[in-house]
Structure 1
Amino acid sequence: MKIAIVYDSGYGHTAKQAQAAADGVNRVDGVEAILLPVAENPAPWDLLQECDAIIFGSPTYNGSLSARLKKFMEDATGPVWTSMKWRNKIAAGFTNSGAMHGDKLNSLIGMALFAAQHSMIWVGLDLFASTNPEDMNRIGGWLGAMAQSDNASPDVTPIKSDLETAAHLGQRVAETTKQFIAGKTA
């Protein structure tokens, strides 16, 4: 099984989340994560079609997705959407912003709506929120993994618990995808 992680990262924070999600995917036997930064155009549509799931990632800029991830989404119309090539493919998402909240939910909603328009099946987090900054899901997202960078260097942010949340999401997507595929062949 292959799971693509399609992401944008302006300064390196979201790339760290993408790597953490890939690490989580790779924890599951028989599943391989493929990191695909959208800055490296053109998008590999054939490779994405071969993948069993796609996890989307974007920084939250001004309460929304990055322009490069939006362009990827728009570019998917011809090669993917018009023929529903991603129908019943598993999807999930993660985002990062400088502020604790920073309207990250809006970015995750944008990803989930994109997935819904492609008839994909969205997987959210299964973690309760925590007020302890050392715990996973400290920001309290259900729709996807959220991280905060404090506008600090990607050398120090996102913090460990935010990266562990992204890894948990990656593992959850891998396990859910395996269950889904097993159910389709049973």
Structure 2
Amino acid sequence: MRVTIIYDSGYGHTQKQALAVAEGVHRVPEAEATLLAVGDGDIAWEALADSDAIIFGSPTYNGTISARLKKFMEDSTRPAWMPMAWRNKIAAGFTNSGAQHGDKLNSLVTMALFAAQHGMIWVGLDLFPGNTADQPNRIGGWLGAMAQSDDVSPELSPIASDLKTAAHLGQRVAELTRQFKANA
């Protein structure tokens, strides 16, 4: 079972979140996580088509996804949208910003709408909001994993609870993908 995590990361903070998502995917037996950074060059459209689930990730800049992830979305029209290559694949998303809230929900809505246009099945979080900074889902997102990063090295931020939230999302996507495939 292949889960592809396609993401953008401007300074390394969202990449750290992507790695945590992959860690969560790997917790599920027979699940394989593949990381694809949109800033690394050509997109492996075949790898995405062969995936059982796709998790989208982006920093939130100015209240929405990054320009590079938006370009990826626009570039997907011919190789993925027109042939409906991602129809019935499981999808989810994560985002990160410098502000505690920073309109991250808008980024997740953008990703969920994009997934819906491709006929994908969106998976949100099943975590109650944490009450303290050391609890998962401390930001209180339901549509996907949200993280906040200070303007410091990615080694220091985002904090552990945000990474636990991202890992939980990866594990949840892998578990639901396995369940979906078993019942297909």
TM over 0.5: yes
- Asked if residue 131 in structure 1 is aligned to residue 131 in structure 2, the reply is yes
- With the length of structure 2 as denominator, give the TM-score of the two structures: 0.99
Aligned counterpart, 1:46: 46
Uncovered stretches (5+) of structure 2, i.e. residues with no partner: none
**Matched residues in 1 for 2:123 and 2:41: separation?**
26
Aligned counterpart, 2:88: 88
Aligned counterpart, 1:5: 5
Aligned counterpart, 2:110: 110
Aligned counterpart, 1:56: 56
Aligned counterpart, 1:34: 34
**Matched residues in 1 for 2:137 and 2:144: separation?**
9
Q: Give how far 1:175 is off.
A: 0.0
Determine helix, strand or coil for the equivalent of 2:183.
helix
Q: Give how far 1:114 is off.
A: 0.3
Provide the aligned C-alpha RMSD in A: 0.6
Determine helix, strand or coil for the equivalent of 1:79.
helix
Q: Give how far 1:154 is off.
A: 1.0
- Asked if residue 71 in structure 1 is aligned to residue 67 in structure 2, the reply is no
Task: Give a deviation string over 1:28-75, Cα, whole Å, max 9, x none.
Answer: 000000000001221101111111000000000000100000000000
Determine helix, strand or coil for the equivalent of 2:79.
coil
Aligned counterpart, 2:165: 165
Uncovered stretches (5+) of structure 1, i.e. residues with no partner: none
Aligned residues: percent identity?
69
Determine helix, strand or coil for the equivalent of 1:146.
strand
**Matched residues in 2 for 1:157 and 1:61: separation?**
17
Q: Give how far 1:83 is off.
A: 1.0
**Matched residues in 1 for 2:40 and 2:48: separation?**
14
Contact 1:100–1:150 under 8 Å retained in 2:
no
Aligned counterpart, 1:149: 149
Determine helix, strand or coil for the equivalent of 1:134.
coil
- With the length of structure 1 as denominator, give the TM-score of the two structures: 0.98
Task: Output the amino acid matched with 1:63.
Answer: G
In the comparison of the two structures, how many residue pairs are matched? Answer: 184
Determine helix, strand or coil for the equivalent of 2:62.
coil
Q: Give how far 1:152 is off.
A: 2.3
Task: Output the amino acid matched with 2:13.
Answer: H
User: Which deviates more from structure 2 when the two are superposed, residues 39-48 or residues 109-118?
Assistant: 39-48
